[in-house]
């Protein structure tokens, strides 16, 4: 199983500890991670075209505040399971 991981390339220093933990957990569970840089709404079509079985969005204010709604809509359209708290984050 491959997990698509969205990260903001403009906040990579903040994402690195998360990615390190995700990689460690994925290795322990036999999962593959595909890290996808999403720096704006224009990147979402390409990001969702990536073959993944599920989606995780790194903890990033821009991704969770500015792109939350389009990410949720595209995840639903692609029938892609996403992290459970994404649709409950404050706007």
* Structure tokens belonging to residue 4: 């698509």
Angstrom distance (rounded) from CA 35 to CA 88: 23
Please write the tens of the pLDDT for every residue from 41-67: 999 999 999 889 999 999 888 998 899
48: burial class by Cβ within 10 Å (0-12, 13-18, 19+)?
A: buried
Provide the residue ranges of all domains of the chain, joining segments of one domain with +. Answer: 39-91
Tell me how many helices (H) and strands (E) the chain has.
4, 3
Those residues with Cβ within 8 angstroms of residue 78's Cβ, 6 or more apart along the chain or in another chain = 48
* Structure tokens belonging to residue 69: 């709604």
The pLDDT > 70 percentage for the chain reads 91
Q: Give the chain's mean pLDDT.
A: 88
Is residue 89 very low, low, confident or very high in pLDDT (cuts 50, 70, 90)? very low
What is the reported pLDDT for 85? 61
């Amino acid at each position: 199983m491959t997990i698509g991981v969205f990260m903001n390339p403009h906040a990579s220093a903040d994402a690195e500890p998360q990615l390190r933990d995700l990689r460690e957990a994925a290795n322990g569970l036999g999962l593959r991670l595909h890290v996808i840089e999403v720096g704006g709404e224009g990147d979402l079509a390409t990001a969702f075209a990536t073959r993944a079985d599920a989606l995780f969005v790194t903890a990033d204010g821009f991704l969770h505040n500015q792109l939350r709604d389009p990410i949720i809509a595209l995840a639903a359209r692609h029938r892609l399971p996403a992290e459970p708290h994404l649709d409950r984050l404050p706007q």
